[in-house]
Structure 1
Amino acid sequence: MARTYPFQEPATMKLLVFTLFCFMACALGCRFVPRDCPEQCECSPCLPEIRCNGENVTDFNFIQSLSWVFIFAAVNTSIPELQQGTIALPNMPYLRHLELSSNGIHILTEQVSTTNYTRLSVMILSDNRLSVVPSPMMRLAPNLAYIDLSGNMITVIHSDVFTFNNDLNVILLADNGLQTIEEKAFAGVTELRTLNLSYNSIMGTNLGNWEEFHASIETVSLSGNGLRQMPTLNPNYKFSCKYLSLEHNHFEALDKFALAAFENLTLLNVENNFLSTVDGDLFGEGTHDLVMLYLSRNHLTSVPVSLLARLPKLLNLSLSFNRIATLPSKAFLQNNRLRWIQLDHNMITIVHAMSLNGLDNILHFNIQHNLLTGLPETFLKGRYEFDLILKDNMWSCDCIMKSLQEWFLTNAIENDVQCQIPAEYQGQNVTDVNFEEICEKEEESTATKEIPTNPVLRINIPYSLIGGGVVVLLILIVAAVSFRRKLRTQTDRDTPLCKKELDAENSSNKQFSN
């Protein structure tokens, strides 16, 4: 069997041929491209491209035919005829890429072209003033695969506007003020892979007939629409969508079965909403193959443990900027593939000793900007090197923190963990603290404290002294009262006798005077 060398492989041969072609093109100065370039425009020396860019472009001065052009772009021009859709583009039968963005175009009709663009696959009409989808012009490009209508003023997508473009793979309609999508808006679009409806005003739940492309769709963006619940989708269809963006909406909860139709979803982004609850059965009652989950900047007060238990293939999890107070035990027990966890900017005060159980492949764990004062002594036991970010917490550098210092030093990991208390260690890095001295002081302080053998005695002795004093005081009061009563009785007895003696003495004095 003959030996096959690397350069004889088909892929390598193609690369060599392409490289040789580029070298020859540069050597010849790309003279194979015709030079009949319109005035006020630029033509690439090596590519079949015409680009008219700038407000100084007021007309095209086209010749009748540009048969060599594959790419045509007119961007940010000031051509009134183009803005009103009355200008006719030249005959470009081999055109594959057409860009007319940022021109202030109000309308585009069949008058724009005198011929069909059967080879056109990319049409960019972004940042104009279109109020409707330019279906008359799109009919001229039956093989269109990519249409960008972002940044226009389209408020309604009418039914059947894409009927003549069955091969569309990408539809971009972001930032239009879009409010209504009619039921048959996507009729005939069976090969769609990307649908971007972000930053519009779609408040309702009707997004048209998605079942047309349920088997081909991969990316859907509904960000920035003010949505409060998932749009109504045909329950008889399961969507092949892999990437779903719902950020910057008004979701307060992700309810049970809300995303059950998205069986193949790998990325879910629901950041910047008002979420307070996420149901464990969000994708249904079984497990789901979601890989990336982004829930940051919401109102969550706890880690969605029940949902995480259904996501065994999860790799990335973001819960930043929420109101989570506790990291529970075994929160990630079913997520042994998790590599990236963001829990920064929450209100976490408690971390359980077994919070990291199950995270066998963790690479990055961010819990900075919380309210932690310490970590359980066995929190990192048996854990090897990974990116642990703990800065900007309320760390109390006591003897328990010695285990954290040992972990950092053993794994040679740089950190920015600074002590907040006690005052003598404030601002000092945890790896520089003398924990031997701290532990000795804590032991001495514990040893010098008086710890009675019977805590009841510690409580009863002072109270018995107080009780005895009260008894003595009561006895003295009773004695005083008794003495006073006796004295009063004696006084009462002596008063009549003294009175008789006094009367007798007065009588004798009177007799003596007589």
Structure 2
Amino acid sequence: MRFHHVVIAFMAYSFKAEGSLICESDFCVCHHNNKSDREVFGEIVECSYDPILLKRNLSLPETAYTLNLSRNSLVDVEFSLALKSDTLTELFLNSNKIKNISPNAFRLPNLKRLDLSDNQLEVIREGTFDRIQKLEYLNLANNRFNTFEKITFHHLSYLVEIVLDNNDLGPSLENNNLFDRSGYGLTHKIQSLSISGINLDTVHENFFVDAFDLRRLTISNNSLISTFVFPFTLEYLDLSDNLITEISEEDFTELLALKELKLNNLLIKDVPGFAFASLHSLAHLELERNQFLVNFSATAFGQEVLDDPVDFMLETLSLKGSRLTSLDKRLEVPFGQLIRLDLQGNFWNCDCNLKWIQKLQIHPDLYDHIRCYTPKPLYNSRVFELDEKYFTCTKVHRSHRVMVTISIISFCLLLSSLAVWVYMFLPRNHTRCDFANVYSGASYTVLPVHVSTVRDPL
């Protein structure tokens, strides 16, 4: 009889465990979201450090909004009650060891954000996204994809942002277009694309021809050696950490809506005149860690802004970590309009040509590493703490210039005198070969023309 009761109690406990809420788990914390910046009010479920959590078949609250399953060392994702909800909007499965996702695992018809980054995925099987068609954000960064041959994104018609960073997809994109229906099929609704670190070295001419509304493009940390045709709808562009050696005005002519541009750690040596003149909406510009950059043209933003910055929209500019030694004083007018200017970590030559930058309104937090590199007596001095009297240029004394001039004239006269002497005293009937023999320094002498006929006495 006792055994019978024990069996019934165990079955009741098992049923209760399988039917219990995930919030009752020792590895989960649930709290109600009542923040005004959220679209929907509901339960936020935080679960970590439980590798068998999905196998427990714990149900989500009826008002679940966010489920965080990151850092659980999950390898396989299969159907579980925790992945079935009509209210769940955000699902975080990042930072696991996921290698496989069952095609019927996700039953989340209202899911908008899915994070699968930092896993070990090589393929996504067909049908995986069939029941999450309202997805707007998908993060697949830091996995092991080298192609998407077994998946297309065509049916994700609500998708507006996708992150593919640090997957070896570059070679596959030479023959497949992310936006082409015969390729990977991202819809024309995509507004944000991140393909940083995908081993991409070429962007063919029609790569973005079907990206009608692309506003943010991150294509940093690749092997691009030149710019390409950018979508004219861009508002944000990051080209940092590529092998680009040159930029010009023509590169950005069509980007009238661009607000933020990042050109960090390139191989450029020069920012030429009018390079950014056509970017009338540009508010934030980064040119950091360009270790070959030695020249920043005074007309980089155009000629008009040097006199009247009324149309100069730039708010922040960073030139830190490059090899600039000086800046043209004409930039004082536009640079004086900036909210934030970072000039730290350059090789500044603290002479009279740099004195003007002390007038700029630079935040004290950005003072410390604006230091002199030359002249030697001022090495490592803080530019904004240096007294004005030290910003001097070496002047050449007038007497010194006179002496140099006299020396040059004397040298020219000496050369002229030597030429006259050669002309006057060189025998005309000697050939050039004779002249060469006479002055060759050889040990032989020239024999006389006549030979004595007097015989020695017997």
Q: Determine if contact 2:244/2:266 at 8 Å carries over to the other structure.
A: yes
Q: Which aligned pairs between 1:391-410 and structure 2 lie closer than 5 A?
A: 391-399=344-352, 401=353, 404-409=354-359
Match of 1:189 in 2: 132
Change (3 A) 1:240 1:418: same
Deviations 1:245-297 (A, max 9, x none): 32333222333333444433333223333332331x232xxx21x22222323
Q: CA deviation at 1:333?
A: 1.0
Distance in 1, matches of 2:446 and 2:189, equals: 105
Aligned match of 1:250: 199
* C-alpha separation in 2, matches of 1:239 and 1:383: 38
Map of 1:98-497 to 2, 5 A cutoff?
A: 98-105=45-52, 108=55, 112=57, 119-137=63-81, 140-162=84-106, 164-206=107-149, 208-214=151-157, 216-228=158-170, 230=173, 232-233=177-178, 235=180, 238-279=187-228, 281-283=229-231, 287-288=232-233, 290-303=234-247, 305-346=249-290, 347-357=292-302, 360-381=312-333, 383-386=335-338, 387-399=340-352, 401=353, 404-409=354-359, 415=367, 417-430=370-383, 432=386, 438-439=392-393, 441-442=395-396, 444=398, 447-448=401-402, 450-451=404-405, 460-470=412-422, 474=426, 485=448, 489=451, 491-492=452-453, 495=454
Q: CA deviation at 1:64?
A: 4.6
Query: Alignment partner of 1:317: what SS?
Result: strand
Whole-angstrom CA distance in 2 between matches of 1:429 and 1:314: 35
CA change 1:472–1:133 in 2 (3 A) is same
Shift in CA distance, 483/207, structure 1 to aligned 2, threshold 3 Å: closer
RMSD (Å) for aligned C-alpha atoms: 4.3
Gaps of 5+ in 1: 1-60, 78-94, 504-514
Could you tell me how far apart the structure 2 residues matched to 1:118 and 1:430 are? 62
- Secondary structure of 2:258's aligned partner: coil
Residue deviations 1:461-483 (CA, integer Å, cap 9, x gap): 3322333454577569999x999
Q: Work out the CA distance in 1 between the residues paired with 2:391 and 2:112.
A: 68
Report if aligned partners of 2:21, 2:61 keep a CA contact under 8 Å in 1. Answer: no
Q: TM-score, normalised by structure 2?
A: 0.72
Task: Give how far 1:311 is off.
Answer: 2.0
Partner Cα separation in structure 2 for residue 482 and residue 121 of structure 1: 110
The alpha-carbon deviation at position 234 of structure 1 amounts to: 5.1
| Contact persistence 2:83–2:105 (CA under 8 A) | no
Separation of aligned partners in 2, 1:459 and 1:354: 43
Decide whether aligned partners of structure 1 residues 136 and 409 sit closer, same or farther in structure 2, where only a CA change above 3 A counts.
closer
CA drift of 1:139 comes to: 6.8
- The count of corresponding residues between Structure 1 and Structure 2 is 402
Change (3 A) 1:443 1:351: farther
Listed as ranges, the gaps of 5+ residues in structure 2 are 1-12, 30-41, 306-310, 439-443
Q: Distance in 1 between matches of 2:227 and 2:101?
A: 32
Cα distance in 1 for residues equivalent to 2:357 and 2:210? 45
If asked which structure has higher relative contact order (CA below 8 Å, sep 6+), I would say: 2
Q: Any conservation in 2 of the 1:101–1:128 contact (CA below 8 Å)?
A: yes
Shift of 1:331: 0.7
CA distance in 2, matches of 1:201, 1:154: 11
1:297–1:322 CA contact under 8 A, matched in 2: yes
Equivalent pair of 1:105/1:129 in contact (CA under 8 Å): no
Computing the radius of gyration from Cα coordinates, the structure with the larger value is 1
Q: Is the 8 A contact 1:121 1:145 kept in 2?
A: yes
> Could you tell me whether the CA contact under 8 Å between 1:217 and 1:239 is conserved in 2?
no
How far apart are the structure 2 equivalents of 1:204 and 1:234?
A: 14
Post-superposition offset of 1:204: 0.7
Q: Could you tell me which amino acid in structure 1 is paired with residue 264 of structure 2?
A: S
User: Who is 1:24 aligned against?
Assistant: none
Q: Give the counterpart letter for 2:154 in structure 1.
A: E
Q: 1:118 to 1:243 in 2, by over 3 A?
A: same
Residue identity in the other structure for 1:152: N
Equivalent AA in structure 1 for residue 153 of structure 2: W
| Counterpart residue type for residue 127 of structure 2 | K
Letter in 2 for 1:408: Q
Q: 1:212 to 1:458 in 2, by over 3 A?
A: farther
Would you say the 8 A contact 2:54–2:80 is kept in 1?
Answer: no
Helix, strand or coil at the partner of 2:356? helix
Quote how far apart the aligned CAs of 1:218 are.
3.2
Contact 1:145 1:169 in 2 (8 A): yes
Q: CA–CA distance in 2 between the matches of 1:262 and 1:75?
A: 43
The AA in structure 1 aligned to 2:358 is F
* 1:409 CA displacement: 2.4
> Does the C-alpha gap of structure 1 residues 383 and 223 become closer, same or farther in structure 2, counting only changes over 3 Å?
closer
